[in-house]
């Protein structure tokens, strides 16, 4: 009876050791997998954001931010080519936000220009109406 109990305890400790080893190996594969994945989705989002900012007039109204976004996007591309995926992801995220800032600045500048044009139009209409009255 004692012999049977000893075998069972040895089996459990052996299984526990195997489970821990499997867990450690699995965790290392997961961590290695995360570090080794190129940020292609983030890169695509960033390219789209840069293109959108250019279309919104970012190069004209937010030249500094557009230059930063385009430079960081190029650096991210180089980092991806060099398989520096963490650096590529970070640069790509920064480029995306620079592009979004450029797009918003361009939109704001266009809205401000539209407001000035409207105010000028209203002023001209007032002057025109005063001329006809006199």
Q: How do residues 54-65 score in pLDDT, each as one tens digit?
A: 999 999 999 999
State pLDDT tens for residues 7-23: 555 455 555 555 544 54
For residues 45 and 52, give the distance between their C-alpha atoms in angstroms, rounded to a whole number.
10
> φ, ψ for residue 56 (rounded to 5)?
-80, -10
33 — pLDDT class (breaks 50, 70, 90): very low
Mean local confidence (pLDDT), 116-123: 92
pLDDT band at 128 (very low <50, low <70, confident <90, very high): confident
Q: Are 80 and 39 in contact (CB under 8 A)?
A: yes
Average model confidence (pLDDT) across the chain: 83
């Amino acid at each position: 009876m004692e012999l049977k109990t000893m075998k069972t305890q040895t089996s459990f400790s052996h299984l526990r050791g195997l489970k821990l080893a499997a867990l450690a190996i699995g965790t290392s594969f997961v961590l290695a997998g995360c570090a080794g994945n190129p940020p292609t989705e983030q890169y695509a989002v960033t390219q789209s954001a840069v293109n959108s900012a250019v279309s919104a007039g970012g190069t004209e109204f937010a030249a500094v931010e557009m230059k930063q976004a385009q430079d960081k996007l190029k650096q991210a591309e180089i980092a991806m080519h060099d398989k520096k995926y963490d650096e590529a992801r970070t640069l790509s995220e920064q480029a995306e936000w620079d592009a979004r800032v450029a797009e918003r600045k361009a939109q704001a500048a266009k809205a401000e220009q539209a407001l000035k044009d409207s105010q000028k139009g209203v002023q001209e209409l007032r002057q025109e109406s005063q001329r006809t009255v006199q």
